[in-house]
Amino acid sequence: MRLSGQAAIITGAARGIGRAIAEAFANEGAELLLVDSLDLVEQTAREVSAGKRRVLAYPLDLRDTDKFADLVKYAFEAFGKIDILVNNAGVCKRNYLADLTEEKWDWHFDINVKAMFFLSKSVVAGMIEKGIKGRIINTASVMAKIGEAGFAAYTATKHAILGFGRCLAFEMAPHGIRVNAVCPGIVDTDMERQIDVEIAKQEGKSPAEVRKRYEALIPLGRYARPTDIARMALFLASEDSDYLTGQAINVCGGMVMY
C-alpha cells in the first residue's frame, strides 16, 4: 500500500473531490482527519473508514482560521504526526463584475485562499519541528491558467493558490517537504451541477444544454469524475512523485494542454 503508516488531513472532505481523495488515501493505508463545514463529514468518515482505517471527522467552518491551531494540535495528538495535507476545500459562484460585491469576493478568498494559507502555515511548522518530509497538495483549477466571463473571483483565488504554492515549494524544499497542485477541469460534483443550474437560469437554457456546451470544450468528451482527481492526488502524496515540487498538474481531459 502506497500510504501505509501515513497520516493526512483533507479539507472539503465531506463529498465530491475531497471524499474521493479520502477514499483513495484510505484504500492505500492512510489514516485520515476529514475537515468540512458540512455535517455530512461525520457520515463520510464512517463510510470511508468502513472499520478498516482510522478516519476521524473534524467539523469546522474554514473561515474560522483562529481554530486552525486546535485542529492541527488535534491531528498531531491523534496520529503522532501529519505526513500529508490536502487543501481541497473550495467554493465557486458565477458573478459578473457588475454583480460581484466585496462580500462575494471575500467569501471566495476566505475559503479558497486564506484557509489554505493559515492551515499550511500551521501544518508545516509541525512537520519541520518533527523532521517530517511531508507533502502539501492544493486543489487549484484549470481556471488558474485560463479564464471565463463571470468567474473573476473564483479564478483569482485559483491563481493565488498556484502562486502561493510555488513560493512555498521553494521555502519547504530544504526541509524535504514537497508542495504541488492539482488543476481539475470541469468535475461532475454537486457543486458543478449547481453551477450548471445557475448558468442555465441566467441564460434561459436547460442544465443539460449547459453541460453539453461545456463537454464540447473537452477533447475527451466528458466531465471529470472525482476519482480522476483523486488518483492524481494519490500520486502526488506517494513516493512515486518524490522528485516533483512546485508543479500544477492539469487533470482536465485535454481542456488545457500546458
Burial class from Cβ neighbours inside 10 Å (0-12, 13-18, 19+) for residue 51 reads: exposed
Cell of 94: 458565477
Cell of 29: 493505508
Cell of 110: 476566505
d(CA 37, CA 222): 29
DSSP code per residue over 1-57: -TTTT-EEEEES-SSHHHHHHHHHHHHTT-EEEEEESSTHHHHHHHHHHTTTS-EEE
Cell of 239: 513516493
CB 30 within 8 A of CB 56: no
d(CA 95, CA 151): 6
Round to the nearest angstrom and report the end-to-end CA distance of the chain: 31
Catalytic residue at 154? yes
Q: Which of 154, 223, 243, 258 is catalytic?
A: 154
Instruction: Supply the residues annotated as catalytic.
Output: 154
